[in-house]
Structure 1
């Protein structure tokens, strides 16, 4: 369990959200270009995770305009965080709109086993 001290502000932690530019992509399916860019996004995200940049990432399970994906990253500055986000092929390609925020983790506990779909020994992307 982790409980933050609100008086101690972190540096180098950012949260960004990704939202589909075309929400119908989720309900009706992606175009070939969207599918290719989403695949490149996935590989880019895995690389960031392996390099220790990504702390946490996920997505909502909605398939409408409310859908979004939050990602927490480590970066030296807002400019460095922006470069990481803008380097995402799906952001650069216009599939996802991104918004970046300085972030302070406040409460963290153990990940609930019932919601985990992979484990640390899960699928290898090497």
Structure 2
């Protein structure tokens, strides 16, 4: 989980990560809590706090059977993948717009026909 001047970002990591200031590592007992479900709970809590999750201990954790957590965790992973894809697409469009404007301003591109 990464917090800072922007919104809190929660992601499931399956590899080692180097922690830095404002980065929290939350581990779950896999026999009790599904880690993907936990990521969804933390992301929802951050979203409810206007993107700023300051106290992990204040997050309400719904009690549900592990099997149900796993099903919910599957959906959380799908939604996070959709969010990641949207962010990549948005970044690509923003880069295209910036390069297009720079090309027009620098004379490397010429305007096309207008409608």
Q: TM-score normalised by the shorter chain: which range applies?
A: under 0.3
Return the structure number with greater strand share: 1
Return the structure number with greater helix share: 2
The one of the two structures with greater contact order (alpha-carbon pairs below 8 A, sep at least 6) is 1
TM-score by length of 2: 0.26
